[in-house]
Amino acid sequence: MQHELKRDLGPWAAASIVVGTVIGSGIFLVPRDMVLRVGSAGMVFFVFVFGGLLSLAGALSYAELAAAIPEAGAEYAYLRDAYGPMWGFLYSWTQTWVGKGGSIATLATGFFYYLTTFFPGLDHVFYTVPLPLGPGGGPLEFRWGQLLAMGLILALAWLNYYGVKLGGDVQVIVTLVKVGLIAFIIIVGLGFGHAHAPAAASTVPLTVAGFFAALVAALWAYDGWNNVAMVASEVRDPQRNLPRALVGGTMAVIVIYLLVNVAYFRVLSANEVGNSPRVAGEMMRRILDGPGASIVAVAAMISIFAALNGSILTGSRVPYAAARDGLFFRPVARVHPQYRTPGVAILMLGVWSALLVLTGGFRQLFTYVMFASWIIYGMTTAAVIILRIKRPDLPRPYRTVGYPWVPILFVLVAFLLVLSTLHDSPRESIMGIGMIVLGLPFYSYWKKHPERS
């Protein structure tokens, strides 16, 4: 007997998946990478606004697809219907091994970075592999904190194994706590911090490559706005709740991010931000001394915890959806008879993500993830136009605002972003392409022999 997933996620859980998954480690870590690329606070704000509007354009487009095709796996179903089963498979393959697996590993890496505030020994290298397998082609170094990050991923996978409602309830609670702590950081920075002294002009030249590299960092901070669509088959009244969660949640994140950056750059100059690996911690230390950095570390870890939980909850539905169609390992399609979760898919994604923690540092991981992900995002958004032509009679409870210009703009920028990332970070980009291409022989086999998957 094939058991089905249950619609146990209400509107608050859906919205908290968007907000809670998007706001993870990025806003605490990427402003430094961005200012090093574009040089000034003004350009950092411009890139954040541009990235936010781009993410909103994607959310507006995805809202139409999610309401029209409320199935598990999100992009898997949209690409399958728009381009054919091969593209749906390649999405599920890429998302499992690169996109979602790498995103979860990146978040867990960010978690252990902040935990070193209290336990510096976690950053100690206990073993080195003298081969060019690490970040930038250097030796692969293993740190104690990576083992802790791996344990956190596996613990959250175990939690989500026991029911989507449990995972959704945890997501709501932790997201509320996270937003409250971030609001506290904003209030302290704007209300109690002293404006920094006038600083010298930046010596970093603004280039097209620098702009797109900063945009990659900003989009990593925004990444996850699409995750709620992956659990569409478990959201109550999806035609109504999915568009609201996608669009409303993305707009809320844009506002939060801009306010956080106003606080950062009020207290710290652009040069100081560029020299601060933990920007929020440095800002709070200036205002509250030692306790300030500790508060930020706790806020960052809670933020990352929520994003990790949401990513595991949603990401596991992608290989599950492909396996249901006979295009992935067949056991991954199993639904637990009692908990009604894709238990095998959750555990598989958790174990793989934990192993990816060992492959690199924060920046290398998010570049690796963003390159592969934005190929898929661009194709999926184009599917809005393709399905309007291919399936004009498909019921569309929600239609994309600004169609067709909003999805066209998104697709064009996604294309430029992919080309720029390929030029700026060829090693990580080629690794992403390699993982996509590696899926083709598996697709060919499973297409011919679905009973053997």
pLDDT tens-digit series, residues 102-161: 888 888 988 888 888 888 888 888 878 777 666 666 677 788 889 999 999 999 999 899
Which residues pair with residue 9 across a beta bridge? 235
Residue 167: per-residue pLDDT: 82
Q: How confident is the model at residue 451 (pLDDT cuts 50, 70, 90)?
A: low
Residue 4 located in a structural domain: no
- How far is 372 from 223, CA to CA, in rounded Å? 12
- How far is 29 from 217, CA to CA, in rounded Å? 9
Say which residue the tokens 């393709």 belong to.
386
Q: Could you give the 3-state DSSP secondary structure of residue 290?
A: helix
Which has more confidence, 3 or 190? 190
Here the tokens at position 27 are 């806003």
Average pLDDT of the residues of the chain: 85
Residue 126 located in a structural domain: no
Into how many domains does the chain fold? Answer: 1
What count of other Cβ atoms lies within 10 Å of the Cβ of residue 355?
13
Closest CA relative to residue 106, chosen from 356, 376, 432, 425: 356
Which has more confidence, 431 or 51? 51
Residue 130 located in a structural domain: no
Say which CATH number the domain at 149 has. 1.20.1740.10
What does the pLDDT look like over 22-56, one tens digit per residue? 888 778 878 888 898 888 888 999 999 999 999 99
Residue 182 located in a structural domain: yes
Determine contact, residues 242/70, Cβ cutoff 8 Å: yes
Read off the pTM.
0.82
Per-residue CA distances from 164 to 81, 92, 447 (Å): 26, 20, 30
Determine contact, residues 49/271, Cβ cutoff 8 Å: no
| C-alpha triplet 377, 135, 28: angle, nearest 5° | 60
Alpha carbons within 13 A on the beta-carbon side of 331 = 5
Residue 5 located in a structural domain: no
Look up the domain containing 154 and give its range: 11-115+142-452
Residue 141: per-residue pLDDT: 79
Determine contact, residues 262/44, Cβ cutoff 8 Å: no
Which residues pair with residue 125 across a beta bridge? 143
What percentage of the chain has pLDDT greater than the value 70? 92
Q: Could you give the 3-state DSSP secondary structure of residue 202?
A: coil
Residue 132 located in a structural domain: no
Residue 380 located in a structural domain: yes
Residue 362 located in a structural domain: yes
Residue 365: per-residue pLDDT: 56
Here the tokens at position 187 are 């209030």
Residue 100: per-residue pLDDT: 84
Residue 373: per-residue pLDDT: 76
DSSP for 204-267 reads PPP-HHHHHHHHHHHHHHHTTTTGGGGBGGGBSSHHHHHHHHHHHHHHHHHHHHHHHHHHHHHH
Q: How confident is the model at residue 200 (pLDDT cuts 50, 70, 90)?
A: low
